[in-house]
């Protein structure tokens, strides 16, 4: 009995296992959309009522699934404190913690379960490659974050110095200038805050010339790391093949 359940829930190589996975994933996405619909202003009372029923239904299914997963786990405690175990708990906890409205957004984390489906063989390799690539560029990413952090801070100080007098309401402190700095350096540029003094514009001019270079660095790191990861994977496979022969 327990073994059958395990096949259904844990093993996604069998047709039933896949079906179960797809059903849960479909329910997760549906409940995410329902959560978004709930936030719409001027909902009809019928809609609100239906959404509540659907919510109860989802939580019931997710709770059953959670309990079943504990039941079939060889080491229940290990599952409970695993990454997925905690996510599964967080997906249902908010409902039980009364009407803790916004916490329900945490259900979105449940969507990470989609990766379970990805554990199928054909996706295994891409996941693994991204894992290798992430490790390869870990040190560069840390360096990049430190340099970007310093650069953003200095940019904020600079623009505060140039614009504070002309626009005291907008660049009222370095923290306010930080908002401008991040919106500019990521090239989002909402247009709610921008320099108007000659000095501020010239400063921004040079900041942008350097900033564009900085923003493109992660693309370069990712590209280089993924290429390397691909190579490493191929080497491993070659080694395995030559060991088998």
Of residues 66, 94, 158, 163, which one binds a second copy by CB under 8 A? 158
Stretch of 3-11, 12-20, 86-94, 127-135 lying at the interface with a second copy (CB under 8 A): 127-135
> Among residue numbers 24 through 83, which ones bind a second copy (CB under 8 A)?
32, 35-37, 39-41
Residues in the chain: 245
Of residues 125, 131, 135, 236, which one binds a second copy by CB under 8 A? 125
Q: Which is nearer to a second copy, 72 or 229 (CB)?
A: 229
> Among residue numbers 177 through 216, which ones bind a second copy (CB under 8 A)?
178-179, 182-184, 186-192, 194, 201, 204-205, 208-209, 211-213, 215-216
Q: Does 16 bind a second copy (CB under 8 A)?
A: no
Q: Which is nearer to a second copy, 76 or 206 (CB)?
A: 206
Of residues 153, 166, 197, 199, which one binds a second copy by CB under 8 A? 153
Of residues 142, 235, 237, 240, which one binds a second copy by CB under 8 A? 142
CB of 120 to a second copy, least distance (A): 11
Cα–Cα distance, 145 to 141 (Å, whole number): 6
User: What are the residue ranges of helices labelled H in 41-137?
Assistant: 45-72, 76-80, 83-96, 114-118, 121-136
Stretch of 44-52, 54-62, 76-84, 174-182 lying at the interface with a second copy (CB under 8 A): 174-182
Q: Does 7 bind a second copy (CB under 8 A)?
A: no
Give the CA distances from residue 198 to residues 15, 169, 209, in Å, rounded to whole numbers and listed in that order: 67, 18, 17
Helix, strand, coil % in the chain, rounded to nearest 5: 80, 0, 20
CA proximity to 64, closest of 9, 131, 13, 132: 9
What dihedral do alpha carbons 123, 125, 131, 137 form, nearest 10°? -120
Cα–Cα distance, 171 to 168 (Å, whole number): 6
């Amino acid at each position: 009995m327990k073994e059958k359940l395990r096949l259904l829930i844990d093993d996604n190589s069998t047709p039933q296992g896949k079906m179960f996975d797809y059903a849960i994933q479909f329910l997760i996405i549906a409940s995410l959309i329902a959560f978004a619909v709930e936030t719409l202003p001027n909902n009809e009372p019928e809609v609100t009522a239906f959404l509540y029923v659907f919510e109860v239904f989802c939580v019931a299914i997710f709770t059953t699934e959670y309990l079943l997963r504990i039941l079939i786990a060889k080491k229940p405690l290990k599952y409970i404190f695993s990454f997925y175990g905690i996510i599964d708990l967080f997906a249902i906890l908010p409902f039980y913690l009364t009407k803790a409205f916004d916490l329900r957004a945490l259900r979105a984390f449940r969507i990470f379960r989609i990766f379970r489906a990805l554990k199928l063989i054909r996706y295994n390799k891409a996941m693994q490659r991204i894992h290798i690539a992430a490790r390869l560029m870990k040190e560069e990413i840390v360096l990049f974050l430190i340099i970007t952090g310093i650069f953003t801070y200095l940019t904020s100080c600079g623009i505060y110095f140039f614009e504070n007098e002309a626009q005291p309401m907008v660049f009222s402190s370095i923290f306010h200038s930080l908002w401008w700095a991040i919106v500019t350096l990521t090239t989002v540029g909402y247009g709610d805050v921008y320099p108007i003094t000659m000095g501020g514009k010239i400063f921004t001019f040079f900041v942008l010339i350097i900033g564009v270079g900085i923003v493109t660095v992660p693309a370069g790191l990712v590209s280089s790391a993924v290429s390397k990861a691909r190579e490493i994977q191929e080497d491993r496979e070659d080694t395995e093949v030559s060991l088998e022969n």
